Amino acid sequence: MSRQLYPHLRLDVFPTPYCTGCGHGILLGAMVRAMDEAGLDWDKTLFVSGIGCAAWIPSPHFNADTLHTTHGRPIAFATGARLANPGLNVVVVSGDGDLTAIGGNHLIHAARRNIRITVVCANNRVYGMTGGQVAPTTPEGCFTQTSPWGGEEPPFDLCRLVMGAGGAFVARHTVFQVRQLIKTLTRALTFDGFAFVEAVSPCPTHYGKLNDTPTLADFHNQMKGQYVDRRRYDRMNPEEQADKIPTGVWIKAADTITPPIDKGSSFIPPSSGLGSSSNPPSAGQGNSSNPPLRSRGGQRGGI
C-alpha cells in the first residue's frame, strides 16, 4: 500500500491478527484504496462492523470513527447513525455469518428501505472466528465443524438475496480480483442509495483445511475457474453455468430506484455537546386543553 494512505490506518495495531493467507487482509487493503479513490473524508465516515474476524477489518485498523457492534446488528446500528446524522458516510464491513445468518433480517430491510449506507460482506463461507462452523453461505457438500459429513443445506446466493430485497447496487468479486474489487468498492462508497458488495474471501485456517484448499494459492486456483465475469456467465448455457458463480455489478434501472429514506432528514448532531435548539411548538395547537394529535392511534387489543 502506498505510504500516502498510511495516515488512514492505526499503524500501531498492525500487523493484523489475521491468519496467514486470510482473505480479510486483502479486503482491508482494498477498502482503504477505494476510500481514497472515492475521495471520501475519513473524518466524516463511520465504519460499522458486527462480530467475527471480518468485523475486525475496520476496527481498530481504520483511523476513523468505528463502531464494533453486537453480532449480526451492524446494519441496524448503521441505520440509526445515518438517520441521526445524514452528513456521515456510513460503511458496514462484516462477515457472511454476521450479515446474512443472525443479521439477515436487517440486511434485507436495509436493502428494501434503500437507506444510504454501503455494506461490504466479507464472505469466507464459514464462521471463521468461532472455529469454522457451517454458515448459510457454505456450499453444499463442504466440510465444516458442524457439517462434518458435508453440508446438506443449499447456501444463499447473497447477491440474488439482496437484489430480491430491492437492493439498488449489488456486486460480487473475489478478493483475488483485487483491481475490480477496488473499482467496485469505490462506486459502492459513492452510490446514492443502498449498496451491497460481496467480497469472497478465503479462510484457509478453517474452511481451507477441511476442503482441500489449505493455502491462499489453493483458493486462487479453485476460485478463478469458478467465479466468472457476469457477462461471460450470461453467455453460458445452463449446463456450463451450473458450477459457476457470476461476478460483477448489478445496478437497478434508475427509474426503479426509490429515493433513499434518509434524504429528508435535517437533524444535525451537536458538536459542542449542547443539543439541538429547542423544538418549536407544533403547529395548530393554540391554547386548547388538548395537545395536538393528528391521529389518535388508540387501537387497543393487539398482540
Partner 1 sequence: MKHTVETVPAPLPPDDYFMMGDEASAEGAIAAGCNFFAGYPITPSSELMVRMVHRLKETNGSFIQMEDEIGSISALIGASWAGARPMTTTSGPGLSLMMEGIGYAAMTEAPLVVVDIQRAGPSTGQATRPGSGDIFQVRFGSHSDYEIIALSPWSVQEAYDLTIDAFNLAEAYRVPTFVLADESIGHLREKVTIGETVERWHRPTAPGMPPFDTDDENGVPPMPAFGQGERLLVTGSTHDARGFRKTQDSAAHQRLVGRLVGKIRNAAEKIARYETYSLEDAEILVVAYGFSARAALEAISELRRDGVKAGLFRPLTLWPFPEAGLKLAAKSVERVFVPEMNWGQVVREVERILHRDVVPITQVDGEGMRPQSIIDGVRGRAGMNS
Ligand X SMILES: Cc1ncc(C[n+]2csc(CCOP(=O)(O)OP(=O)(O)O)c2C)c(N)n1
> Residue numbers of the site for ligand X (CB under 6 A)?
51-54, 71, 94-98, 122, 124, 126-130, 135
Q: What backbone phi and psi angles, to 5 degrees, belong to 247?
A: -120, 160
Total site size for partner 1, rule CB under 8 A: 67
- Judged by CB under 8 A, the residue of 4, 20, 237, 287 near partner 1 is 287
Position 49: which residue type? Answer: S
Between 43 and 239, whose beta carbon lies closer to partner 1? 43
Of 21 and 103, nearer to partner 1 (C-beta) is 103
- Indicate which of Mg ion, ligand SF4, ligand X, none lies near residue 58 (CB less than 5 to 8 Å, by partner kind): none
Region near partner 1 per CB under 8 A, out of 59-67, 161-169, 188-196, 216-224: 59-67
Interacting span for partner 1 (CB under 8 A) from 31-39, 63-71, 128-136, 215-223: 63-71
Query: CA angle at residue 102 from 101 to 105, to 5 degrees?
Result: 85
Please name the residue that has the C-alpha cell 470513527. 65
Q: Note the residues at the interface with ligand SF4 (CB under 6 A).
A: 18-19, 22, 24, 53, 124, 128-129, 203-206
Reported residue count of the chain is 303
- Applying CB under 8 A, among 24, 33, 106, 125 the residue interacting with partner 1 is 106
Contact flag: residue 15 with partner 1 (CB under 8 A): no
Q: State the number of CA atoms in the 13 A half-sphere of 75 facing the CB.
A: 31
Q: Which of 52, 1, 51, 67 is nearest to 28 (CA)?
A: 1
Told to check if 278 binds partner 1 by CB under 8 A, we report yes
Per CB under 5 A, 69 contacts Mg ion: no
Nearer to ligand SF4, 129 or 170 (CB): 129
Interface stretch with partner 1, choices 102-110, 153-161, 164-172, 173-181 (CB under 8 A)? 102-110
Minimum Å gap between C-beta 95 and ligand SF4 is 8
Among ligand X, ligand SF4, Mg ion, none, what does residue 130 contact (CB within 5–8 Å per kind)? Answer: ligand X
DSSP of 38-94: HT--GGGEEEEE-SSSGGGTTTTTBSSEEEE-STT-HHHHHHHHHHH-TTSEEEEEE
CA angle 198-201-206, nearest 5°?
Answer: 130
Contacts of 70 (CB under 8 A, 6+ apart): 50, 51
**Measuring CA to CA, how many Å separate 37 from each of 2, 40, 46, 119, 223?**
13, 8, 17, 17, 26
